[in-house]
């Protein structure tokens, strides 16, 4: 997994199968950076996620709560149809926007 920081935006790029086992690693690595206090926007890049279950929803939800508390935002891009369906099923689509690509995700304030 790679995390890129661009200004006040952080892009989390999980790779492979996003399950409960992997979720704890993502959470730890992401929160270590968020808690430094400079990030205002968390972007999930799902381009290389081949599988996701509801643990992925938990990870997004957790980061959303964290960012909401500091008036920041969370969004995503690169999600395949299955991931989009899962996000919709959980009601998370009311809280986060899924953009078609990284550029769009970075553009929106």
Partner 1 sequence: MNYINEMKIQFLNKSVNEGLARVAVASFCAQLDLTVETIADIKTAVSEAVTNAIVHGYENMSGFVTVCCVYNLNEIEITVSDYGRGIEDITEARRPLFTSSPDEERSGMGFTVMETFMDYLEVKSSVGMGTTVIMRKKVQV
Q: Which of 47, 54, 73, 93 binds partner 1 (CB under 8 A)?
A: 54
Tokens in use for 31?
């929160």
- Report yes or no: 34 and 71 within 8 Å, Cβ to Cβ: no
| 69 secondary structure, DSSP code | H
Q: Which of 2, 8, 35, 51 binds partner 1 (CB under 8 A)?
A: 51
Determine, following the binding rule CB under 8 A, whether residue 35 of this chain makes contact with partner 1.
no
- Report yes or no: 9 and 3 within 8 Å, Cβ to Cβ: no
Determine, following the binding rule CB under 8 A, whether residue 24 of this chain makes contact with partner 1.
yes
Stretch that binds partner 1, among 3-11, 38-46, 53-61, 71-79 (CB under 8 A): 53-61
């Amino acid at each position: 997994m790679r995390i890129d920081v661009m200004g006040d935006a952080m892009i989390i790029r999980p790779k492979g199968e996003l399950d409960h086992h992997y979720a704890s690693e993502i959470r730890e690595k992401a929160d270590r950076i968020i808690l430094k206090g400079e990030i205002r926007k968390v972007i999930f890049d799902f381009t290389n996620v081949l599988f996701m279950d509801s643990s992925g929803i938990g990870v997004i939800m957790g980061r959303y709560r964290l960012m909401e508390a500091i008036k920041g935002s969370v969004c995503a891009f690169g999600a395949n149809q299955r991931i989009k369906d899962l996000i919709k099923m959980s009601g998370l689509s009311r809280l986060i926007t899924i953009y078609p690509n990284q550029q769009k995700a970075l553009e929106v304030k």
